[in-house]
Amino acid sequence: MKKTDIDLIPDVVNPTPDYYCTWQTQLYATSDGKPGEQRRAINENSLFNPEKPYGWAYFHEKARGDLFIVMDDSWDVPLSNDERYHGSLILSPDKFPSYSLESLSKKIKSLGWKGLGGWVCAQESSIYSEGKTETEYWKERIIAANEAGVSYWKVDWGAKDHSLQYRKMLTDLAAEYAPELVIEHSIIKEVIPYAQTFRTYDVPALMSIPMTLEKLVHYSDAPAPKDPAMGLINCEDEAYIAAACGYAMGIMRHPHSGCLPDGRADMSFPAVHRDLKTKMFEVARAARWHRVAPAFSGGTFIASSETLDDVWEYRKVEEEIEAWWLGHGIIKDNTVDGVLTKTAPVAIARNTELPCVISDIGEKPFCVASLNPNGVYSVATLGRSLKKLYCIPKCHVEVNIGAADTVGIFGEYKSFSLTTTAEYSRVLMQDIAGDAAYDMTEYVKIENGRLKIPGQLISFVGREAQPDADTSEPGVVLKLV
């Protein structure tokens, strides 16, 4: 293969409001200390002490310039976990004695992050709200966030988490007094047209792919926002769904791989499954791909009538690790005799027709695709949970990319073929995490008007930039010139 001096990924900042959130890292650092300990764990030592299990501000080096870092629950609550402080949005002085919110924001940006964000409890703090109207209270905090250079609010649970009026008010106030501040909403579907971003909400890693697809189908019929800059869906840690389907992402994974500090297995990212803590380059590829094909709202949405069942069998001795979510309301009525089953469409597509997945091995991967409003096409195959195995069944995938000449391809394939009306004489391919493309013209075939690419080429080129210890699934950009 001949390497060129062409870099297919532009040297710009990712315009999509993607972020890394600290909540699961808070769990890791406390060896699953439950919410009380996790809330105490967000502090300046955790962010800036480079020793494991800390050093969170130094994570995601490859993707850092394309991500916000969002301090999760409870950066504004003292170490005592006094619930009266929820919603104060005042940096806790006993957790951050060396910083103001403004100096902390500057520190984060100096380390290369796109900006600083914070978790927001959807209620006013009783300590600071006396004598103020709801609007006065939140206007004051939005102005303070703007002056401090805070970039992102992750508005989560709280006394007003189901109030559409409250959530709309926050968005309106930010638009007027802090236009650079992104307000993320969640929980109530009705807020999607009025939200800059809307988070699909928590799912356990073992069933994250089918549950996220299920949620995306559920939210797909929300009214389209009048403003195309509104209504972005954030599909949390499913980086390749975000990249290939035009969604934003809120990354939870972190690079402290292996067991918890106390030696127990990490139930948030079980190594027995995808081992997401060894897949950091997926985050980099998804964030960099959003430079080429940013997340978008609206458009058409199609889900296949064909569905797949993901199945996971857990043994009783592993229940604490693999089934911690039982009884937490995250998954209901889907576990029988130690077997968990979740069902989702085999394929979904936005602004384009469904990809065709052809299997000669019995099993299929999930598959998602989109045609970006800017004309770029993206597609991904996604892994399956099959009893005690996670894998991407390698199949033939066929797509029609219309007039597109740029394609993002994520995941594993036996072969990949596309139909395009674009004219071309060369085929370039590059690891999205890399910095130079290969000329692949002589390695692809034209059969019946379709460009066919062997899956081995996607796997080889799509992992070129990652270190050996990183197990990320492939991600390439294909350019027809």
- % of the chain with per-residue pLDDT over 70: 95
Per the domain annotation, does 376 fall within a domain?
no
Identify the pLDDT of residue 336.
58
Confidence of residue 1 (pLDDT cuts 50, 70, 90): confident
pLDDT band at 333 (very low <50, low <70, confident <90, very high): very low
Domain containing residue 273: 14-292
CB 75 within 8 Å of CB 104? no
pLDDT value of position 284: 98
Specify the range with the lowest mean pLDDT, choosing from 72-81, 100-109, 183-192, 197-206: 197-206
- pLDDT tens digit sequence for 370-381: 999 999 999 999
The pLDDT of residue 206 is 87
* Percent share of the chain, pLDDT over 90: 87
Cα–Cα distance between 431 and 427 in angstroms, integer? 14
Please say whether the beta carbons of 178 and 143 come within 8 A. Answer: yes
Q: Are 310 and 342 a contacting pair, CB within 8 Å?
A: yes
* CATH code of the domain covering residue 217: 3.20.20.70
What does the pLDDT average to over 312-326? Answer: 60
* Residue 335, φ and ψ in degrees, nearest 5: -120, 120
Q: Where does residue 284 rank: exposed (0-12), middle (13-18), buried (19+ CB within 10 A)?
A: buried
Q: How many domains are contained in the chain? A: 1
Of 158, 150, 92, nearest in space to 120 by CA: 158
Question: pLDDT at residue 332 above 60?
Answer: no
Cα separation, 93 vs 79, in Å, equals 10
Provide the pLDDT confidence category of residue 317 given band limits of 50, 70 and 90: very low
Task: Flag whether 272 is in a domain.
Answer: yes
Q: Rounded to an integer, what distance in angstroms lies between the CA atom of residue 467 and that of residue 280?
A: 10
Q: Decide if 84 contacts 127 (C-beta within 8 A).
A: yes
Does the pLDDT of residue 334 top 70, yes or no?
A: no
| Averaged pLDDT for residues 446-465 | 94
Closest CA to 142 of 153, 130, 132: 153
Record the tokens describing residue 187, joined without a space: 């929980």
* SS3 state at 352: coil
Residue 54 lies in a domain: yes
Residue 210 has pLDDT above 70, yes or no: yes
Residue 450 lies in a domain: no
159 belongs to a structural domain = yes
Would you say 479 and 405 are in contact if contact means Cβ atoms under 8 Å apart? yes
pLDDT at residue 86 greater than cutoff 70: yes
Are the C-beta atoms of residues 271 and 258 closer than 8 Å to each other? yes
- Predicted confidence at residue 267, as pLDDT, reads 86
Residue 378 lies in a domain: no
Residue-wise pLDDT tens digits, 423-440: 899 999 999 999 999 999
Q: Is residue 432 part of a domain?
A: no
CA dist list (Å): 198 to 79, 154, 233, 287, 369: 29, 9, 5, 18, 20
Q: CB-based contacts of 58: which residues, under 8 Å, 6+ apart? A: 50, 111
pLDDT, tens digit, for every residue of 135-176? 999 999 999 999 999 999 999 999 999 999 999 999 999 999
State the pLDDT at residue 339: 79
Mean pLDDT score of the chain: 94
Q: Is the pLDDT of residue 82 over 70?
A: yes
Q: Which residue has the tokens 């954030």?
A: 234
**What are the pLDDT digits (tens) for 99-146?**
999 999 999 999 999 999 999 999 999 999 999 999 999 999 999 999
Residue 342 within any structural domain of the chain: no
Tell me the pairing of strands 335-336 and 339-345.
antiparallel
Q: If pLDDT is split at 50, 70 and 90, which confidence band does 447 have? A: confident
Distance CA 449, CA 421 (A): 10
DSSP 8-state assignment for residue 361: S
Q: pLDDT per residue over 219-268, tens digit each?
A: 999 988 989 889 999 999 999 999 999 999 999 999 999 999 999 889 89
